[in-house]
Homo-oligomer: A and B are copies of this chain.
Amino acid sequence: MTDAVTLSEIGESAALARIFPRLPEAKATLLGPGDDAAVVAAPDGRFVVTTDMMIHGPDFRLAWSSPFDLGWKAAASNLSDVAAMGAVPSALVLALAVPAETPVSFLERVADGMREACAELSAGCGVVGGDLSVSAAMTFAVTAFGDLEGRMPVLRSGARVGDTVAVSGALGAAAEGLRLLFEHGVDERGEPDAARASALGDRTAAQLRPRPPIADGRLAALGGATAMLDLSDGLAKDAARVAAASGVAIDFASAALGDDPELALGGGEDHSLFATFPAGTALPGGFRAIGTVVEGSGVLLDGAPHDASGWDPYTGWSGARG
């Protein structure tokens, strides 16, 4: 049965030959995989670059995430960092390490997830190279590139007093998905359980297969955003970074944060885009106003200081489980 063939049985070269055709092609590719390095177009003489790892244990459980989910999330979370600079994602490289007994069909599904994420979130972006290794700890290391189209990058440090604070994308949905998995996606002993997680259906999609608003990064830059970042550690914690870098405070309006402001402020991994715009700006794309930049430091909620210590639900999790 083809599905049962493992990486150790067919080796790296044969596995790559099965994976590469499934990966998305990048329009910016001048030379693709197969030589010592790839060559990628950087039309304005610069490129944006970001790198991020996903590791079995701290970052995902195999009982909860399918290989398609993992490929999707590895792509989506890196595309979001590119978008947060105001750039258009152009290409990715993937360094993937898996246990030797991993079925090659698993790797194919990872490639499928990366392809679909690129197609749906940032058409034209694709994979230009990679590396496949053996490791006891399954590890995705994605490096993503973007094109600024001649614009200045949108930094964390540009927020000014009086700016409108806005967000595009969900707030707290990824954390709510993870809460559901911890509460209902486990067996009697508290171990991650694939069947029970699957029964949660779409309610875990924001956690397992996030859909960051990649195109809104470019729209924010074109629309005059003064600061921007990707929401990975929770709205409050990430807003505190913008506040510190810009020498201002961020005051959120609780009424704009939905039914559960604490979840919206504390939940991580949404990969939504946080941006500030000059007061009166017609907010572009999916951005909506959620607060104001004020004098001071740190994060406020309706004018009162808010603890921005953030969120780390995986702390202490044993890598031997799930």
Contacts and interface: CB of A to CB of B under 8 A. Distances in A.
Contact of A49 (B57, B128, B133, B229): B128
* Copy count, this protein chain: 2
Contacts of A131: 51-53, 141
Contact of A85 (B37, B49, B85, B144): B37
Q: What does DSSP make chain A's interface, helix, strand, loop or mixed?
A: strand
A42 B39 contact: no
Given A37-B49, A47-B42, A146-B37, A139 B137 contact: yes
B46 A38 contact: no
B137 A136 contact: yes
Nearest to A83: B36
Interface string A17-51: 00000000000001100111111111111111111
Interface of A: 30-31, 34-53, 55, 57-59, 81-82, 84-85, 87, 91, 93-95, 97, 128-131, 133-137, 139, 141, 143-146, 148, 153, 155-156, 228-230, 319
Contact of A37 (B38, B50, B58): B50
Contacts of A94: 51
A243 to B, nearest CB: 15
Contact of A36 (B31, B40, B46, B85): B85
B137 A135 contact: yes
A316 to B, nearest CB: 10
B36 A50 contact: yes
A135 B95 contact: no
A141 B38 contact: no
B36 A230 contact: yes
B93 A49 contact: yes
